[in-house]
Structure 1
Amino acid sequence: ASKKFHGRWGLPEGIIAKGENIFESAKRKVHEQTNLSIHLRGLVGIYNWYSEETRSTEIHYIFLASDPKGTSKPNISEILSIKEFSMAEIMAMPDASFSYPQFRQVIKDYRRGKLYPLEVINIL
């Protein structure tokens, strides 16, 4: 559950730091927020929307990750707690439970099997 989003559930997220690429950033943010190291398997999608919360247009790269290593522990300066949900539990949750309303579309895309190879993102 995210502090930034007042206890609503979401995925680890953050800003790409100077000098790192999107893949390094994704792994770093997961580790910083959850204490877990992950393997990125593919790209579920790139999502663009206007956020009332931040009053800005945001671009979110959503990756599928696997093989978490370590003991999950929330970084309480960024998130309140960590919880694993079943797909049935996620689908039963009201949209207001999520850190952003577009989360439902991300889940639908994942369930439809949308998964692009990481190579569609060119790091130059």
Structure 2
Amino acid sequence: MTLIEKLRAYVPWIIAGIILLGYAFFISFMTEKTKTSDEEWLKLVYIFGSVEAIVFAAVGFIFGNEVNRSRVITAEKNEDKAKREKNELAKEILDKLPVAPSTPDSVNFETQNLNKLRNMAEKYREN
């Protein structure tokens, strides 16, 4: 694992921890201010609501980003597996397809379908 991969893995969690720790300190500050006047408490609650929205948005972004990253990695693995299976299937089809007769009088519907299938399998095998 390279340094950049390690940073991508751990930095979001560190940032989320710092944000949540700051949020905990802010909640502690708010609990100490419960004895203040109603007017001051109303202002603090208004600020608390704003800070709370920012904290939830930041933590949601970080965790959502991690979830999407893991989904992308899974999708890339599935894509590689599908490509391998496609190549194996195309090879198997090419191995098992009978050779179509090449005489002009034998060109019929079945021969055309065999040629189409062979061409398609060769195309997929090349990609």
* Larger RCO (alpha carbons 8 Å, 6+ apart): 1
What's the TM-score, normalizing by structure 2? 0.19
- Select the structure of larger CA radius of gyration: 2
